[in-house]
Amino acid sequence: MSLYFNYLFILFKSQMQYRTSFWLLTIGQFLVPLSLFAGLYFLFERFGQIKGWDFYEVALCFAVIHMAFAISECFARGFDAFSSLVHNGDFDRVLVRPRSTIVQVLGSKFEFTRFGRLLQSVLVLVWALNNLAIEWSVIKAITLCLMIISGVSIFAGLFILAATLCFWTIQGLEVVNIFTDGGREMAQYPLNIYQKWVTRFFTFVIPFGTVNYLPLMYILGKSEGNDLLYMLTPVAGIVFLLPCLLVWHIGVRHYRSTGS
């Protein structure tokens, strides 16, 4: 763990060397989702609601997903940029060090500029929560936190899976973006607005539904039946990380150096 913080500290210092670039990127990371959010706002201004969800409810959904994405991109950026590590044969160096590969790859990159995105989604979250009449309880607050954690682990899991693919393909695959970027865009809205098969796929295969739909219904008081079940669904997202880590270990064993 202390090794990881050391990595972070060094990366932070190195990114701070290019101050203007750093701030520009941070601002940009703030603006990109802002334009998406503006789009969302204007659509709701025009249409009023989407399948019974009103603007603030969707905004909450948007905030949670973007927050989760921002945090996981911050941390798991190393996996996102992993293909270059394999491509250049630099992964060899990671393997010969007596530390876990995951910590090293995690520590290889850290995007501090994603704080811009994070800030934007926090603002949206606050705004949405202010305008929603929710009867707050400790359990609901915990559920909200769980939603974010769960989202982070799903995205992190996807990044790890995408990186693992590089062991076989050597090059990064653009198709994987469907699940990371596409998943993010898709999960901005509560999942039940989509066709049944999409909802199913993103609930049972890649459990975005357990982040933004089932627990959201509970928080907004739309759920029926056992509350505890709804509350605990985000845990499924966290569990999603386990098979991803397993696949990663299989991938590492499969690794063949490309040379340099």
Partner 1 sequence: MKPYSSVLKLRLLNGMQYRSAALAGVATQFFWGFMYIMIFEAFYDQVLHNPPISLKELIVYLWLQQSFLAFIMLWFRDNELFDLITTGNIAYELCRPCGIYGYWYAKLLAQRLSSALLRCFPILIVAFFLPQPYRMTLPPSFTTFLLFLVTLMFGLFLLVAISMFIYISVFITLSPVGSLLVFGVIGEFFAGLVIPIPLMPSWLQEIAYMLPLRLTADFPFRVYSGHIPQDEALMGILLQLVWLAILVLLGRIALNKALQKVVVQGG
Return residues touching partner 1 (CB under 8 A).
Answer: 20-21, 24-25, 27-28, 31-32, 34-36, 38-39, 42-43, 45-51, 173-175, 177-178, 182, 185-186, 189, 193-195, 198
Q: Which residues pair with 50 in a beta bridge?
A: 53
Residue 240 C-beta: closest distance to partner 1, Å: 20
For the CB of residue 186, give the shortest distance to partner 1 in the complex, in Å.
5
Q: What are phi and psi of 54, to 5 degrees?
A: -95, 180
CB of 180 to partner 1, least distance (A): 11
When the beta carbons of 45 and 224 are compared against partner 1, the nearer one is 45
- Helix 241-254 × helix 101-108 angle, to 10°: 100
Q: How far is the CB of 138 from partner 1 (least distance, A)?
A: 33
Calpha distance 173→163 (Å, rounded): 9
Which CB, 157 or 183, lies closer to partner 1? 183
Minimal CA–CA distance to 22: which of 116, 104, 97?
A: 116
Which residue, 4 or 194, has its beta carbon nearer to partner 1?
194
Cα-Cα end-to-end distance for the chain: 30
Nearer to partner 1, 140 or 184 (CB): 184
CA distance 29 to 90: 29
